[in-house]
């Protein structure tokens, strides 16, 4: 943390086609966050770093118009849609605050809990997680799949992620600087955020329904996102084949012993067509599944090896290059 008296809070907000929400967001969030200085009796400044993730509507123009009038508003425009995870990573790089808070623009992360996060941060926590205490604003299917995902993820991953904690959290500059040094291309921020550790605290919040517009996530995208998360945090899906193979091998040997015994005792029956088919198809399927999983990992290795940047910044607005943090990586 820098030793200045005034603390700067950066809100990092990825946006995709959100022209109707930008104004609403700024109007509601800025006063609430600035008022936090009363709670902690220390002066605060706030900046909002919007990352335009390749919007096709007026999102970028609207943000630039705000930025022109208000120095607290900044814009990083990506050259196309890179996905929320990449956009968030870009925002973390361009944020200059002593504490950084990723937020969704749709007001689903209520700004009213930000002052509480800030006071826990001032009290010493390096990470203050927002914990959702109520998912009733989600559909039943979303709740069900999210619950199963967290169970599975935490059973498999080398490092668990807390259930019901999303990207909405406060992170100290020290934590953000460490995150910026992590080099992987497949970003699953939720897991990276918890992987780095640091002293943590939490605040509870209720996730509200979207203020306007529609969610940008569809189930197929969420499924791929979940797959990325598990594969980038665990090698269990690769290792499990060793055990399945060993188990099936042992069964095969036992069965071979049984057949040999039957042959020696002279009572050989003609082996069934059905059992042969089942064995062949089952083993074929297992082979294909294990190959597919290998493929998932190899595909990600080749993405990493290619080493292309995570995102491409087309232009920025309101950002002073000399302000940018020391660690930089794109
Ligand atoms: N978003 C983005 N890039 C994408 C998809 C979404 O920057 O490819 C932004 C979106 O504008 C919003 C945030 O990520 O600020 C969360 O998206 P959304 O509300 O659609 O997701 P949900 O809340 O349904 O998980
Ligand atoms: Mg949302």
Contact 11, 72 (CB under 8 A): no
Q: Which residue has the tokens 């008022």?
A: 35
Q: So what's the pLDDT on residue 329?
A: 40
Q: Which residues line ligand 1 at a C-beta cut-off of 6 Å?
A: 14-16, 18, 53, 81, 83-84, 87, 104-106, 108, 210, 215-217
Domain 7-234+310-321 superfamily per CATH: Spore Coat Polysaccharide Biosynthesis Protein SpsA; Chain A (3.90.550.10)
Q: So what's the pLDDT on residue 80?
A: 92
Q: So what's the pLDDT on residue 61?
A: 93
Q: So what's the pLDDT on residue 328?
A: 45
Ligand 2 is an ion; residues with CB less than 5 A from it = 104, 106, 108
Mean pLDDT by 10 residues, the chain (330 residues): 72 93 91 82 88 92 91 92 91 93 90 91 90 77 81 81 85 92 78 84 83 72 81 84 89 87 78 79 87 88 85 85 54
The model carries a pTM of 0.74
Helix or strand (DSSP H, E) at 101:
strand 99-102
- Partners of residue 37 on adjacent β-strands: none
CA of 17 to the centre of ligand 1 (A): 9
Q: So what's the pLDDT on residue 197?
A: 85
Q: So what's the pLDDT on residue 325?
A: 56
- Looking only at the bridges linking them, the beta strands covering 99-102 and 7-15 are parallel
């Amino acid at each position: 943390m820098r030793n200045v008296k005034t603390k700067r809070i950066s809100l990092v907000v990825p946006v995709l086609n959100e022209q109707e929400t930008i104004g609403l967001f700024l109007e509601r969030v800025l006063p609430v966050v600035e008022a936090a200085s009363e709670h902690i009796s220390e002066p605060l400044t706030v900046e909002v770093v919007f990352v335009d993730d390749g919007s096709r509507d007026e999102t970028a123009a609207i943000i630039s118009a705000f930025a022109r009038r208000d120095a607290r508003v900044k814009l990083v425009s990506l050259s196309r849609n890179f996905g929320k995870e990449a956009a968030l990573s870009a925002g973390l790089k361009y944020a200059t605050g002593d504490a950084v808070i990723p937020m969704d623009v749709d007001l689903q992360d209520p700004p009213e809990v930000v002052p509480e996060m800030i006071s826990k941060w001032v009290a010493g926590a390096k990470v203050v997680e927002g914990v959702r205490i109520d998912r009733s604003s989600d559909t039943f299917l979303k709740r069900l799949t999210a619950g199963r995902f967290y169970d599975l993820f935490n059973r498999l991953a080398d490092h668990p992620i807390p259930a019901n904690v999303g990207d909405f959290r406060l992170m100290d500059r020290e934590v953000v600087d460490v995150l910026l040094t992590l080099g992987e291309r497949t970003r699953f921020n939720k897991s990276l955020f918890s992987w780095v550790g640091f002293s943590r605290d939490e605040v509870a919040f209720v996730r509200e329904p979207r203020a306007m517009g529609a969610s940008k996530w569809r189930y197929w995208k969420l499924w791929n996102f979940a797959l990325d998360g598990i594969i980038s945090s665990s090698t269990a899906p690769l290792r499990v084949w060793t055990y399945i193979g060993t188990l099936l091998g042992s069964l095969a040997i036992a069965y071979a012993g049984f057949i040999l015994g039957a042959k020696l005792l002279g009572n050989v029956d003609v082996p069934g067509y059905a059992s042969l088919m089942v064995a062949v198809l089952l083993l074929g399927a297992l082979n294909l599944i294990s190959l597919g999983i290998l493929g998932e990992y190899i595909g990600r290795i080749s993405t990493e090896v290619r080493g292309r940047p995570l995102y491409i910044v087309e232009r920025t607005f309101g950002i002073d290059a000399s302000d940018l943090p020391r660690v930089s990586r794109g």
